[in-house]
């Protein structure tokens, strides 16, 4: 009886500890770069800051709620601001939308120490809706922590290995 009570207290304590939101405040350097036919067009250093809370769930998908800010020389059609985002972890990757329009797909490891953002590019904009696309034969990505394109590419290939063949 006492052993069962101690076991129950242990399970409840673990559940409470596990599910209490964890404060995340990370900053690291990254690279904004192209792949495929855009591999030589763009290789810019960026500063990536992730602030918010990580909500772990035992019987559901983990979530991050907070801001992801990227500073650096970004093309004018790429807008990343400090709007709050919610990232739902799906195995080793997650999707990210900012506002009403998709920005791209966001892949991050569970401890939020490595990330890759597949950046959608605006193809056409209309008054009612816009069309965005990403192509592995000529697309843009942001990855970090990385100090050069090779490191950034290694992180991208590691985080999205189940979805795409290796990027070049």
Residue 94 has pLDDT above 60, yes or no: no
pLDDT value of residue 27: 92
β-pairing, 22-34 vs 43-55, is antiparallel
- Cα 89 to the chain's mean position, in Å? 9
Tokens of 80: 């990343």
Greatest alpha-carbon pair distance for the chain in Å reads: 69
Domain spans, the chain: 21-159
Residue 130: which pLDDT band, with cuts at 50, 70 and 90? low
pTM of the model: 0.75
- Cα 143 to the chain's mean position, in Å? 9
Q: What is the DSSP letter of 123?
A: E
Determine the average pLDDT of the residues in 18-46.
86
Q: pLDDT, tens digit, for every residue of 42-84?
A: 888 999 888 999 888 777 777 888 888 888 877 666 666 566 7
Could you tell me which of 79, 68, 139, 69 has the C-alpha nearest to residue 103? 79
């Amino acid at each position: 009886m006492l052993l069962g009570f101690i076991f129950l207290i242990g399970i409840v304590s673990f559940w409470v500890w596990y599910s209490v939101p964890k404060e995340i405040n990370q900053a690291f350097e990254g690279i904004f770069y192209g792949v495929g036919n855009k591999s030589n067009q763009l290789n810019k250093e960026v500063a990536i800051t992730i602030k918010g809370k990580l909500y772990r769930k035992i019987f559901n998908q983990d979530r991050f709620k907070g801001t992801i800010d990227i500073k650096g020389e970004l093309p004018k059609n790429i807008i990343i601001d400090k709007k709050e985002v919610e990232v739902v972890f799906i195995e080793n990757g997650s999707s990210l939308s900012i506002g009403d329009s998709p920005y791209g797909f966001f892949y991050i490891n569970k401890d939020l120490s490595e990330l890759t953002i597949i950046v959608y590019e605006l193809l056409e904009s209309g008054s009612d809706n816009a069309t965005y696309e990403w192509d592995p034969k000529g697309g843009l990505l942001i990855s970090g922590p990385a100090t050069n394109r090779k490191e950034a590419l290694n992180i991208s290939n590691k985080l999205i290995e189940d979805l795409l063949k290796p990027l070049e």
